[in-house]
Structure 1
């Protein structure tokens, strides 16, 4: 049947009965109350629609369908396409701010597969909620009617569901056996396709780094935690294990190729631009293949150098004392506390090798550049009352500061509303107090010391300093110096 949103169903009832929206909402509440709260709005509306004879005549009706097009025959020259396939991945709705009017919008996605290929389908605003309806699930057979073909920023085709588009679940004229179902347990997400708040995630990946278990105290409870980093052919991501699940994770070692099901994706606490996966109660972990640890030494060392050293080792000075800016007089590592004192009017974005993170022209990799990405550089002025210093943020530290990815920043500063973008970030950041750690370097150009930032945290109150220091320092590393 064609999926209608709650508002569309209410409008159907209004057209049929002449009742007002408030009268229909009252009837919905009465049905829910009659069933003692055991039904939701969706079910209540369904009951009301049946009462007015809308089920067969108005909702479960056939749509006018042109010839269904195989996915591998789709191209951007086609318009108002009809495509049939099975849903094999669902990305839940997320909010965004439109550049045209600065209003909130909603977008969701699902991956459609037929016997010829796969394609992502993008739903906007009210229709983005379709993916949360009861009939919309993995392996559901669906027909897209009047879809629009567009290219994404990677050059791949997508189907966009517009105002004139429809989705038809389990179309009666389609032989379902012609569209084989996937085995959900054997279906694995690629790491690069994960988004915040996704649930029931299955992945197949290799363990490339495994931290030592730690004991932490949280809300008067003693908890154990273990973090492992895994990698597939699209990227890497940390997985968090808690308490008794730490014991399960300890059975596996670096190099193991594993299959994990039932994971949950969330934003990292210290860096909202990056994700981590959480191993929960219903999660399962299974060994696929055990590889000699020595054979993955190069992979592990490269990962530690590229991803971990910048997050851990290089940010540990030999002291935990907070320094005054006026006392920075040598090329050493310093911790400072200060506020952002000057407006930001320039952010530099450059193309970089994804391997060494350097500009393309400065790439020092032995191998030919395999992947190119964008990295950001941002200079801000920090004032601590004793003086000011220019602080330079690189890469993911810029993303953390602005809570945006490099590609999003690039789109904003190159767009028509770039002035408005800078105005927004200045309103958000000017006067914000930070706890920063970095290495001082003397600039011949400015004839003073500047600070290259390794890590930082926002400060909301003076009492938070003691809580924030452990986030940018590791006590065991400091004590070992």
Structure 2
């Protein structure tokens, strides 16, 4: 769709004039440091105003979540929101970024839908149990090999669309609800949340190399960094940290990646990299903050698995809450337990 056609479509759908729209578009381009075209900025403004620029989306085929494949673009998915996760703010290349996500179920499976930066305003208006239609999203494989739907400026998100009967979506929220448990009761292959204090942090290399284009782990081949999808690349470094959580009933080993690792470490990845490089020691960042980490109390959300080498259960975290308002967090957990009992 050409730029003038986009402007015409927005003008017809809103009370805004072309002059006001052009001003908003120029402001958006400046806000994004000229990293988007006029057409791209116009798509973002249209999305923020709730103007549909996608023709005949109702006639296009939905993709069942179970059939999603990494690399798919212009995907249309319809489902029920079974959980939402807080917006996280972080810094990348000296710029503040925001990301939020939700869990979507269409009866065939679950998918995480990821909203970035300018789409955060859309995300904030979506609630658990809403029916959403995601149009023109793209599918990406995360570092755990799980598929995610990513919302871009071309994506249209319709919340509780009038032409969709909620009863037609055979969604279940079983996966989205983590069970609050004592560590001593944790079993493998379950999604849990628990509260405890960090009593140990493992001193080891806390970085791993990924492809800067797709985020997948890369392999070394004759001294070259090779991505299975993009071939020879100059790798980016991501951070992870392994620690032990104690809740008074037992202890469990936990591993956090990316933003979760930054929460535990109390520093962004780029700062940890600078510390490690300046001391020529990839374990130095752990030493530098270990005294601050030990004793830190956190809520942990994550997937459990059995480590066959040690024959012990471990947690890969999916969310960490610190600076806890205990009353709010415990009230929410109590409400979830009560809801579960009723069902």
TM-score bucket (shorter structure): 0.3 to 0.5
Query: Which structure has the larger Rg?
Result: 1
- Asked which structure has the greater RCO (Cα within 8 Å, sep 6+), the reply is 2
TM-score for the superposition, normalised by structure 1: 0.35
TM-score for the superposition, normalised by structure 2: 0.46
